Amino acid sequence: MAVFEYKGILVATGKATSGHRDAENVKALRVQLRKDGVLLTTATEEKKGSSDTKANAFSLKRFLERPSVADVALMTRQLATLVRAQIPLFESLSALIEQTEKDALRRALTNVRDTVREGTSFADALKEHPSIFPDLYVNMVRAGESSGTLDAVLLRLTNFMEGQAKLRGKVSSALAYPILMMVIALVMISVLMTSVVPKVTSIFESMQKALPWYTRSLIVISDFTSNFWWLILLALVGGTTWFRRWKRTADGRLSWDRIVLRAPLFGQLVMMVSISRFARTLATLLSAGVALLPAMGIVRNVLGNAALERVVEDATGSIREGQSIAEPLKASGYFPPLVTHMIAIGERSGQLEQMLENVAEAYDTAVDARVQLLTSLLEPIIIVVMGGAVAFIAFAILMPLIQMSSFVE
């Protein structure tokens, strides 16, 4: 069985279409497509060796064409609309394939459609593409298929994905400007220390006069930066490489994530984002009909923090033994009392999903306020640090000149 990349024309509409299909040969491919109402124009067999090489090699084009969360969310909303209109799933997927712009998403949908046509469930077909459709997506679709509410589950899943993308965008955009300012400050100071300061301080050395301690310190720093920049660069690269390898280990990731949660400025923000993600994801899964224990396993994988993942894993074990959700979360010390109290109330009242939604909304609002606070604090701090460094350099250069000019007079 070979894999063909084909192009053709839809007989019903006359529009061009393309995709990937398994077939014995081109003739068999043409027969398959004709049954689907597609007139084959070109077909190219994908070689296994070349396709594996392409899959393992980094490709800028593939990276740029990788579907984003927003792309998958838009596709999901469109699919929900088609399913709600009682259009068969196979035809709905075919319609989505025609209008999907990202090649990676189009190929995945084509494979999903062909797998569904062979009798596989929609969730199992999606599971073959974990890079595009994660476990959260697959399990919610599975719950929607089993309960006969696929359209409602798809809409709920779309709202969840859009909310997560919006939250991630808020945090990223708020931190982009301070990070840019830090990079510019480092570049400016590096240029001053390696290009400007050595030329000015050479005048002081030729005069053989006693210099203030701050000017001598500036000269030492400038000489070291100019002469051993390669050593600084090597130390940065080596330190970064070691840190990344250490962070990939289980103990290293756990230790680092614990440090992040205790960080003075960003730790609280990371905690708020994680709690919001935990509450909204769990609420979405439970509302879709996913059982509590599988839902907790999925939630654990979307937190992005090893310390909190361990808390959820321990809570899952406690729940399996008959405890409530709130008790192990409260005992961990990571989840605030307000959160565990609302979860406990939701468990007792039978409105756990609604309480989790309330927690997520409250923490989304808290994240917005926290991001604005951090942004308002970081900008003046960076400006003061950058201005202080430039002022130190200017002071260390100008003061000896002023002293020498007064000595000459």
pLDDT tens per residue across span 248-274: 898 998 899 999 988 887 888 888 888
Does 49 reside within a domain? yes
Does 355 reside within a domain? yes
For residue 46, the model assigns a pLDDT of 61
Task: Check pLDDT > 60 for residue 48.
Answer: no
Does 38 reside within a domain? yes
287 CB-near residues (< 8 Å, 6+ apart): 156, 353
Write the pLDDT tens digit of every residue in 14-28.
Answer: 777 777 776 777 777
Q: Average of pLDDT values for 180-204? A: 78
Structure pTM? 0.65
When comparing pLDDT for 204 and 276, which is higher? 276
Domain end call among 57, 73, 90: 57
For residue 3, the model assigns a pLDDT of 67
Domain end call among 35, 57, 79: 57
Task: Check pLDDT > 90 for residue 286.
Answer: no
Q: Tokens standing for 86?
A: 């009682």
Helices 135-147, 292-302: inter-axial angle, 10-degree rounding: 150
- Do 241 and 362 lie in one domain? The reply is yes
220 CB-near residues (< 8 Å, 6+ apart): none
Q: Average of pLDDT values for 397-401? A: 78
Does 94 reside within a domain? no
Give me the residue label for tokens 């480092």: 186
For residue 171, the model assigns a pLDDT of 72
For residue 47, the model assigns a pLDDT of 56
Does 222 reside within a domain? yes
Tell me the residue type at 381.
I
For residue 51, the model assigns a pLDDT of 41
Q: What residues are paired with 7 via a beta bridge? A: 18, 42
Give me the residue label for tokens 């393992």: 56
- Do 26 and 169 lie in one domain? The reply is no
Please tell me the total count of domains within the chain: 2
What band does 64 get if pLDDT is binned at 50, 70 and 90? Answer: low
- Do 24 and 171 lie in one domain? The reply is no
For residue 396, the model assigns a pLDDT of 81
Task: Check pLDDT > 70 for residue 365.
Answer: yes
For residue 379, the model assigns a pLDDT of 77
Question: Do 81 and 152 contact (CB within 8 A), yes or no?
Answer: no
Secondary structure of 256-324 as H, E, C letters:
HHHHHHCCCCCHHHHHHHHHHHHHHHHHHHHHCCCCHHHHHHHHHHHCCCHHHHHHHHHHHHHHHCCCC
Cα torsion for 276, 277, 279, 283, to the nearest 10°?
Answer: 130
Neighbours of 88 (CB within 10 A): 11
Distance CA 266, CA 243 (A): 19
Write the pLDDT tens digit of every residue in 290-341.
Answer: 888 888 888 887 787 888 888 888 888 888 888 888 888 888 888 888 889 9
Is the CA virtual torsion 48, 51, 55, 56 positive or negative?
A: positive
Q: What are phi and psi of 5, to 5 degrees?
A: -100, 120
Task: Write out the residue range of the structural domain in which residue 34 sits.
Answer: 1-57
Least confident range of 89-98, 150-159, 177-186, 202-211? 202-211
- Do 345 and 197 lie in one domain? The reply is yes
For residue 259, the model assigns a pLDDT of 92
For residue 44, the model assigns a pLDDT of 80
- Do 378 and 252 lie in one domain? The reply is yes
For 371-407, b/e burial (b = at least 16 CB within 10 A) is: beebeeebeeebeeebeebeeebeebbeebeeeeeee
Within 13 Å of residue 356, how many CA atoms lie on the same side as its CB? Answer: 20
Does 206 reside within a domain? yes
- Do 403 and 284 lie in one domain? The reply is yes
Total length of the chain: 409
Does 399 reside within a domain? yes
Report the percent of the chain where pLDDT is more than 70: 91
Fill in the DSSP letter of residue 350.
T
Q: Average of pLDDT values for 35-56? A: 62
Does 338 reside within a domain? yes
Give me the residue label for tokens 């830090």: 182
Write the pLDDT tens digit of every residue in 224-244.
Answer: 887 888 898 899 999 999 999
Please provide the distance, in angstroms rounded to a whole number, between the alpha carbons at the two ends of the chain. Answer: 94
Question: Do 40 and 30 contact (CB within 8 A), yes or no?
Answer: yes
- Do 267 and 403 lie in one domain? The reply is yes
Give the SS3 label for residue 42: strand
- Do 228 and 361 lie in one domain? The reply is yes
Q: Average of pLDDT values for 379-391? A: 83
Q: Tokens standing for 390?
A: 């430039």
Distance CA 102, CA 194 (A): 46
Task: Check pLDDT > 80 for residue 170.
Answer: no
